[in-house]
Structure 1
Amino acid sequence: MKKIGMLGGMSWESSLEYYRMMNEEVKTILGGTHSANCLLYSFDFQQIERLQHEGKWDELTRIMVEEAMNLKKAGANLIVICTNTMHLVAPSIEAATSLPVLHIADVTGHAIKQENLKKVALLGTRFTMESSFYRDLLKERYEIELMIPNEEDRQCIHDIIYDELIFGILTEASRLAYTRIIESLQADGAEGVILGCTEIPLLIQQQHVSIPLFDTTYLHATAAVRKALEQ
């Protein structure tokens, strides 16, 4: 098994899920007492969140690359960024470390393609929804069209993530807000929805809506294990 280098702590609530899912996937595949061969660097999310909202992406890139290099020095064979938003700097990490970065949008696109869907909606932070990395990758590699919510709904989704979900706060009011937004996107033609923030699956699961959900945390974590087990 290759050693997985995890960049986590963004937030630790979802990094906890990554660690659990990776170990469960290893156990499912290999059985016995096998568990994941991994390294986790966990950021102080206060610093990351502040730099995100200040728009200091050059500084974020520097910090992320530095810790990815430390994972490489510690023996990591591949890098997993345990959050959607910071895949904005994935190309810089891959270039600096010369290690493969398992891209969360790539594994998500593969899952959507397997379901033969052509048009999906994306929920996530404003940084994720309003950037092009998901849209471009899904279009170029999988011929999938991406939709995002309107301005007001994007702000609602973003605020719930940063005010509640990263603190582990799950409320019925927020769940209803998300399901309303998903139903609106479905009415506009969305055939499925990407839960493009690794905290969103803590709040919304498949039983809450009538169209397919793509849990990026689960897809990314289990794909990392399969990648690590490749010969």
Structure 2
Amino acid sequence: MRKIGLIGGMSWYSTRTYYEHINRGVQAKAGKQASAPLLIESLDFTDLVRLSTDDDWKRAGGVLADSAKRLEAAGATALLIGTNAMHKVYDAVAGAVSVPVLHIAEAVGQRMAASAVKKAALLGARNVMVETFYRQKLIAHDIELLPPEMAFVDTLDRIIYDELIIGKATRQSERELKTIITNLEQDGAQAIVLGCTELEMVVDVDANVLPIYDCTRIHSDAAVDWIMGG
């Protein structure tokens, strides 16, 4: 099995989810006694949350690039950025190392294209929903994305940053997500992309009115494939 590195801590709740999904996937393929050869660097999220200015993002790119270098030096043969929003600095991270950095939206786009999804809605933090760095990866797989509705953007951003990243999952937030997803179905979405690694805390991925493409699970599956040599 090949060793993989995870840049985590953004938030640590999602890093915990990655660890579980990756290890369960390796166990399913390699046997009940197996566990994933996995390096994790858990960054302090304090200075990386709610970035807004170009200088903020440039600094964040440097922080993640340095983390990637350390993981490569420690023996990682490929890397994951364990958060959707930080894929805004993917190019800075990928350019800092010689090993592959598995892009979360590329993995999701491939999975959706294989299922012939043509029209979907993307849910996540504000920059994931309204900027192009994530959306264009899905569009490149001939997936039409519904335009972001700003009322939904505001609601999701609040739930993610005020609740989920500190481990708080409320029934009220579950109800709000169900309402959003129902409205998106009425708007023509064939599927929902959970473009936030913590959203599975308030969305039932396996029992919903629409197919749910959970980025964390799909990204973890890509990691398992790499570890197993696929």
User: Do the structures match in fold with TM over 0.5?
Assistant: yes
Q: Deviations over 1:179-220 (max 9, x none)?
A: 111111111111000000000011101355311001111111
Distance 1:26 1:73 in 2: 23
Equivalent residues in 2 for 1:111-190, closer than 5 Å: 111-140=111-140, 142-190=141-189
Q: Could you tell me which runs of 5 or more consecutive residues in structure 1 were left unpaired when the two chains were aligned.
A: none
Matched residue, 2:43? 43
Where 2:193 maps in the other structure, the secondary structure is strand
SS in 2 for 1:34: coil
1:16 maps to: 16
Q: Contact 1:179 / 1:208 at 8 angstroms: preserved in 2?
A: no
1:80 aligns with 80
Measured after TM superposition, the shift of residue 225 of structure 1 is 1.1
Identity %: 38
Aligned-partner residue type, residue 156 of structure 1: T
Cα pair 1:135 1:145 within 8 Å, conserved = no
**One-letter code aligned to 1:186:** E
Shift, 1:46, TM fit: 1.0
Count how many residue pairs are aligned between Structure 1 and Structure 2: 229
TM-score of the superposed pair, with normalisation by structure 1: 0.95
Q: Distance in 2 between matches of 1:80 and 1:206?
A: 22
Counterpart secondary structure, 1:96: coil
Q: Comparing both structures, which one devotes a greater share of its residues to helix?
A: 1
RMSD: 1.4
> What is the CA deviation profile of residues 134-193 of structure 1, one whole-angstrom value per residue up to 9, with x for unaligned ones?
2211222x1111124311210110110000011111111111111111111111111000
Match of 1:219 in 2: 218
- Asked if the contact 1:161/1:199 (under 8 Å) is kept, the reply is yes
Q: Which residue of 1 aligns with 2:70?
A: 70
Deviation, 1:133, is 2.0
Tell me the distance in 1 between the aligned counterparts of 2:138 and 2:205: 22
1:90-129 → structure 2 map (5 Å cutoff): 90-129=90-129
Opposite residue 226 of structure 2, the aligned amino acid is K
- CA deviation digits over 1:84-107, x for unaligned, max 9? 111111122111102111110011
Q: Which runs of 5+ in 2 are unaligned?
A: none
Runs (4+) off by over 3 Å: none
1:196-215 maps to which residues of 2 (within 5 A)? 196-206=195-205, 209-215=208-214
Once residues 29 and 77 of structure 1 are traced to their aligned partners in structure 2, the CA distance between those partners, rounded to angstroms, is: 19
- For residues 192 and 97 of structure 2, what CA distance do their matches in structure 1 show? 32
Q: For 1:207 and 1:223, how far apart are their aligned partners in 2?
A: 19
